[in-house]
Chain A
Amino acid sequence: MQTGTIRKKHNKPTGWFCTLLTAGYIFLAPALLLVSLADAAPATDSTWFVEMNQYSGAAHGSLRCEDCHGPMIESESGIKKPHPDPDDDAFLKSQTKRIFDYQSCRKCHKTAYSRFLKGAHAKAADKEKTTGSVSLTGYAPVCGDCHSAHYSKSHLSRVQTGRIMTQTCGTCHPDQKTSYLSNYHGKAAVNLGHDKSAFCTDCHGAHTTFSLKDNEAALNACLRCHPDATPEFANIIIHDTKKNIALKNDAKKTGLKWVHGVRAVIIFFVVLVLVFFYSHTGLLMLRKLHEKLRRHK
């Protein structure tokens, strides 16, 4: 009887399934390890190397180095930057600098370039050049600060691009990233992968990058998804934070004051109600339990 049941247990299909699953995991573990090792950075301290495996899979993977960097041969006329001498002691010892010559991007990305020139980032870059002072968010970005020429991938989905974008924009605008991610747009778009929700550039423009402090500009952004939006609709606060409040327009400043005031009142009310009823129920439960135990029933 006893042995019979044991044999029956072994014949269960779930047993075979579990064995297969375990075997699968045992094979999978080293495979995953190898894959992660293959993706790891090369074992060198120099920043001059381009990870060619990643490069060939990236958007610019079909381009030759010369297409952007030029031939770098001294004999050719008009070459400003010859290739450094490989026999030099300092060769590959210095640090690479990200002086991004965006004229070379312009050759192919004409529209993006002209839009960039109209936008806030280009204005900040100009201001930086003339005044020499850096804005609050740091150095004004040019092409290479947001896009990696060697590694950025193309043909990503809207959500994949949007998730990378949130990180990219967030490096210089961390408060805006946080407030966007606590808004419904950010939660649905970035967290839940809802591609009909708005990512950063859907409102602020991809290369034009406007602050949308101007109500009319903001309304135009809203209208792209909300066709019935009124001017007042643009006063809905998306970046709901009191940080950087100076960057907001007057309607948003008064709005924020009210929103946070009402929010504090609601939280106080909720806590008050819960504290009262939790203690009420808790105390009565203890009393009733006490009575019941005393009755021994």
Chain B
Amino acid sequence: MEANPTPNETFQRFGVLHRILHIIIIFNFTLLAITGFALHFSEFGWVRFLVSVMGGAAAAGWLHRFCAVFLYMGVLIHLFWLFYYKFVLKQKLSGPDSMLPGKKDIKDLYQNLRYAFNKGTPPLFDRYSYLQKYDYWAEMLGMQSMAVTGLILWFPDFFAGMLPGYFINIAGYLHLYEAVLAVMYIGVVHMADTHLVPDIFPMEKSIFTGKIDKKRFMEDHPEEWKRKQMINN
């Protein structure tokens, strides 16, 4: 309602590489989930139809492996970027801007839970909130474990040469239940926390555009905003 003469000021939050990597994750994660669960829930008729549209079980299996390799290349690019960031750009990987979990995250979690029960104020986040950090680590560590179990299932003859046979069964269950966890976490918690928050709804676009509004910046990342102001002044 109030007249705002100044145009909406935006700030750069994500670089091009990270936006592209995020799109790579979305694309491959979705296809991996669809092709993977298509095998697990193949007793349903519509799933069989879906697989036949994809070109049969062999094609769906090929697509699953292709997406897995594609996604893991994204992981490797990210790791290379971390090295580049640290050793070529000589930037710090720790500190308030980093993804590393710290004491503040536990305090923030406690404060946020208190806030949920109307005791106190919401925590003031830095560049990444503890949930964003959790998203990142769940994805990064989860993909390592999915890669290991996936490779075991991909080359069972090779791995049965050095592991007991039942490890392949265990790898199968780990792969399945971690997929269930990943889909139910990303599909509900990650989606809700980014897009469904009343002030943000219907969609948080900063990971696609790379830009964040001044208002959102000040509300969602107040600590980072404060540091930015101190540097500028």
Contacts and interface: CB of A to CB of B under 8 A. Distances in A.
Interface in A222-278: 226-230, 232-237, 240, 251-252, 254-256, 258-259, 262-263, 266-267, 270, 273-274, 277-278
Interface in B33-48: 38-40, 42-43, 48
A236 B198 CA distance: 50
Could you say which interface size class chain B belongs to?
35 or more
A194 B56 contact: yes
Contacts of B184: 274
B144 interface: no
A197 B165 contact: no
B166 A287 contact: no
Interface in B52-66: 56-58, 60-61
A273 B185 CA distance: 9
B232 to A, nearest CB: 29
Contacts of A266: 173-174, 177-178
Interface of A: 181, 184, 187-188, 191-194, 196-197, 226-230, 232-237, 240, 251-252, 254-256, 258-259, 262-263, 266-267, 270, 273-274, 277-278, 280-281, 283-289, 291-292
Contact of B165 (A193, A194, A234, A283): A234
Interface of B: 38-40, 42-43, 48, 51, 56-58, 60-61, 112-113, 115-118, 156-158, 160-161, 163-166, 168-170, 172-174, 177-178, 180-181, 184-185, 188-189, 192-193, 196-199
Contacts of B168: 236
Contact of A284 (B40, B112, B178): B112
Contacts of A181: 43
A232 B57 contact: no
Contacts of A288: 197-199
A289 B198 contact: yes
Q: Mostly helix, strand, loop or mixed at chain A's interface? A: helix
Nearest to A225: B157
Contact of A258 (B38, B166, B177): B166
19 contacts: A188-B39, A192-B51, A193-B57, A229-B160, A234-B165, A236-B165, A237-B169, A252-B166, A255-B166, A259-B173, A262-B170, A262-B173, A266-B177, A266-B178, A270-B177, A274-B184, A278-B189, A284-B112, A285-B192
Contacts of B39: 184, 187-188, 192
A125 to B, nearest CB: 33
A196 B178 CA distance: 27
Given A259-B173, A277-B185, 4 more contacts: A187-B42, A192-B51, A258-B166, A278-B188
B188 A281 contact: yes
Contacts of A193: 48, 56-57
Contact of A235 (B40, B157, B166, B174): B166
